Structure 1
Amino acid sequence: MRRTPMELAALATAAVPGLEPVAFGPSPDDATDFDSALLRGADGRRWRVRSPRGTEASARLETEMLVLRSFSPAIRAELPFQLPAVAGTVQMLGLTTCVYTHLAGTVRELGQLARGGQRLVKDIGGALAAIHALPHSLVDGADLPAYSANEFRQRRLNELDQAATTGKIPPVLLRRWENALEDVSLWRFNPTVVHGDLHEDNLLIDDGRVTAITGWTDLRVGDPADDMAWLVASNEPDFVDSVIAAYHEAREEPVDPHLLRRAALAAEFALAQYLVKALALGDRDAAADGEDMLQQLASDIEAQDAAEAAEREAAEREAAEREAAEREAAERAAAAPQVSARPAAPPMPPGAPGTRAPFEATHPSQHSAPTAEGAAGARALITEGDGAKPQAGPAAEAEPPASNAASAEPPTDAIPLIARHAREGTHDA
């Protein structure tokens, strides 16, 4: 059931005695499950109203009220952001509508968050870390779900099986997700308290800082990567890297090497969950949107896989050509005729022209290889050789040989190999 801001204002007066709305307007929310509005009362105070569209959403809203009431004043005081407080509720047609006290701040689009500056980045990373550091007892006391790493992986596999039965998931995605879920090493993580529905619409920003986090309907103990899915799904890689760096800096836990890979999987799999939910609700428009998004994702992944395969083939071909050229050069050098030594000349008496005084040292010239510097500032020594025999030059003629026998200098076959590195692409799921 959809409700307008005016209808929500009327419900709010029933939920909070003495509330007299004089202005109201829509508030961003999950349009599939909730209608929301912001109100201003006659006394100037502000309120937020949230009303579910179905029984499942109503149950989630009741869970959120339970969660918010379980946050003790001591826990709230330790968090670097504010939480909503429930001001009142009202039931109509079996659905619970909730009214919250207003929190300072406004919702910003993801692009605005990405351009918000380093202080905002640190706030977002710190907020994520603070949520994941909450005690598990907070979830246990509210009788909310708690999963071990293996239980969470098995739950996701069950969801994948359910999605596959719709017959609307592209095969390339089913294979991709199944392979990721079967990789047990990917799912070795320490479960934490997770928000469960974190995204830009649930962050309130004021003066470049995170002031509050809303939308606590899916609190649980599970995979912390789920709270990163909205970041990975964005097209802001620098922003994502900065937030994750701030998150790890604020956390007192070892870095999870597979955190972003699981977050990417969660972001992709959210489309399948959206489709399954739309089909269950009989929402044809939402189901069609879900199918379109899944097809687009499949096309993007196939194009990315093809590009990576072509890049690998080119690298292998280039390496094979270099190896063949090196082998051919070595074979030519081995087959080249060797210079014969000249016959020894009779010794000359000391002091004769062209002789050296005893123990006179000769110093060979020092040759240092040129230094090449890359874009990242790394330097590497590069040596070159073409396998050709050395030719005598003016310098060689100017200095007499140390002995009366001249030996042939062996040819060089040092051909440098320059490794080519390809940067691996993303949204690993």
Structure 2
Amino acid sequence: MASIPFTLAALSTSAVPGLVVFGAREHESDDSFVSAIVVTEDAELLVRVPRTQQAEVQQSAELLGLAALTDGPRSRLPFTVPTALGMTRAGDTRAVVTTHLDGARFEADALTDDAILLQPLAEAIAAIHELPITVAQHGGLPVRSAQDLRVLATRLVDRADATRLLPETVRRRWTHVLETADLWDFTPTVVHGSLDAEHIRVDEATVSAILGWSECSVGDPAADLAWLLAGGPEVLDGVIARYARARNSESLSHLRARAALYHELEVARWLLHGTETHDQAVIDDAVTMLDRMVGTGGALGAAFTAAVAAAPLSSDEVVALLSQTPDIDDAQSDTAAFEALDEDRMFGVDTDFIEPLTEREGDSDGDSDAEATGVIEDVDSAGDGEQLTEPISDDELPGSISR
């Protein structure tokens, strides 16, 4: 184990020509990567080597996301984003070198509705959502319509229902939200896509850096707010109120209802992960969380009631958006390392520094997931990708969810 940082330091000099390394140390990361911090004369760099094919896909996605965030978009963000510096082969895979952005960390469930951090969090999220859509379009990132996102959520519920482990009460609640068309009348924005406390670094009372851009795309802004429910409904309301002052957003009650839905759907993903990997402990954990949602209505119940009953609220009214709802244990922070990479990501676009991996045996079905999303990427011979969205038929709309 002691030799790993030095091995990765040697790889970093191959990935970044002219790099002079003064030292290296171990870096705590998830089990999907081998990583180390490399010390240079004036900076610290992060070197990561994926352990699995899934981790390679995630790393490719993150490189695409970072490449799309060129100097222009970065200048509009009130925080720092990692920069990819180079990559090199490492056995059957590759080592990628990026700038290392460190800072204080926090737990989402430790946030309170009067925390000073709520304001910088709201400003940071709003800044991401204010980026031009062309950032994603020119970067070859997924661009999805509100209808696309509704259908993807519907498919996730269908898959969870097919396990026969989804309580009927929970299924009906999710279906009801998906069938309420008004909730899905929104304008997609650039989103981080996998935002949570794990990816955020803070310095005193500011957000200093945001990591983990593998899910960056044009999507639902509510998805970047869902993780805040780990701190309770009041924390989400507090951030949404401040978020609304930072950007001219849609109906706040609708935004909150979809955020609550995405928060609950994380449990569906956890259930599917357990069934797909035949991990009974994960399955039992997910079933326990789903059972808790049956009696309480979960975070979604009050949010949906408020969204369908009330007119769009002003930013000053949003703090009183919901009545108190019972807390549910959230496994999002505990299970984030096990989330399957979004099955709808596509990685056909070449960049200047992303080196394509050699196709391995057994990966012949690697394109099936991308096709399932209805998002098709057409890459011409020059390597420029134009991303199209395949029309979605009426049969795939939430009203046709199988019972």
Band the TM-score falls in, shorter-chain normalisation: 0.5 to 0.7
Q: 2:258 aligns with which of 240, 257, 262?
A: 262
Q: Which residue of 1 aligns with 2:325?
A: 425
Aligned to 2:28: 27
Q: Distance in 1 between matches of 2:50 and 2:199?
A: 16
1:142-161 to 2 correspondences below 5 Å: 142-161=139-158
1:258 aligned counterpart, secondary structure: helix
Q: Distance in 2 between matches of 1:41 and 1:300?
A: 47
State the partner residue of 2:331: none
In structure 2, distance between residues paired with 1:116 and 1:206: 18
Alpha-carbon shift at residue 131 of structure 1 (Å): 0.7
Rounded Cα–Cα distance in structure 1 between residues aligned with 2:171 and 2:242: 33
Residue aligned with 1:216, SS: coil
Task: Write the deviation string for residues 370-398 of structure 1: whole angstroms up to 9, x where unpaired.
Answer: xxxxxxxxxxxxxxxxxxxxxxxxxxxxx
C-alpha distance 169-70 of structure 1, shift in aligned 2 (>3 A): same
In the alignment, structure 2 segments of 5+ residues that lack a partner are 302-321, 329-403
1:228 matched residue in structure 2:
225
User: Contact 1:47 / 1:101 at 8 angstroms: preserved in 2?
Assistant: yes
Which amino acid is 1:107 matched to? Answer: R
Structure 1 position 91 matched with structure 2 position 89: yes
Cα displacement (A) at 1:116:
8.9
Match of 1:241 in 2: 237
Are 1:207 and 2:204 counterparts? yes
1:380-426 deviations in Å (ceiling 9; x for gaps):
xxxxxxxxxxxxxxxxxxxxxxxxxxxxxxxxxxxxxxxxxx94637
Tell me the CA shift for residue 210 of structure 1.
0.5
| Amino acid aligned to 1:45 | A
Equivalent position amino acid for 1:288 in 2? Q
User: Which residue identity does 1:176 align to in structure 2?
Assistant: R
Which residue of the partner structure matches residue 295 of structure 2?
Answer: 303
- 1:11 shift after superposition: 4.3
Among 87, 98, 101, the alignment partner of 2:99 is 101
Structure 1's unaligned 5+ residue stretches are 310-421
How far residue 8 of structure 1 moved from its aligned partner, in angstroms, is: 4.8
Q: Which stretch of structure 1 is more off in the superposition, 68-77 or 19-28? A: 19-28
Question: Who is 1:16 aligned against?
Answer: 16
Q: Is the 8 A contact 1:84 1:102 kept in 2?
A: yes
**More relative contact order, 1 or 2 (CA 8 Å, 6+ apart):** 2
Question: Cα 1:303–1:275, aligned 2, differ >3 Å: closer, same or farther?
Answer: closer
* More deviation, 128-137/139-148: 139-148
Task: Kindly report the root-mean-square deviation, in angstroms, between the aligned alpha carbons of the 2 structures.
Answer: 3.1
Partner residue of 2:64 out of 66, 75, 96? 66
Deviation at 1:250? Answer: 0.4
Code of the residue aligned with 1:98 in structure 2: it is V
SS, match of residue 56 in structure 1: helix
Q: Is the 8 A contact 1:144 1:219 kept in 2?
A: yes
How far apart are residue 218 of structure 1 and its match? 0.6
Q: Which residue of 2 aligns with 1:125?
A: 122
Offset, 1:113: 4.9
CA shift at 1:161, angstroms?
A: 1.8
CA distance in 1, matches of 2:193, 2:5: 27
For the residue of structure 2 that corresponds to 1:239, the secondary structure is helix
Question: How far apart, CA to CA, are the structure 2 residues paired with 1:91 and 1:35?
Answer: 15
Tell me, in whole angstroms, the C-alpha distance in 2 between the residues paired with 1:427 and 1:261: 16
Q: Give the drift of 1:153.
A: 0.6
Q: 2:192, 2:216 within 8 Å by CA — same for their partners in 1?
A: yes
Query: Secondary structure of 2:85's match?
Result: strand
Cα distance change on mapping 1:52 and 1:68 into 2, 3 Å = same
| TM-score normalised to structure 1 length | 0.63
Aligned-pair identity in percent equals 32
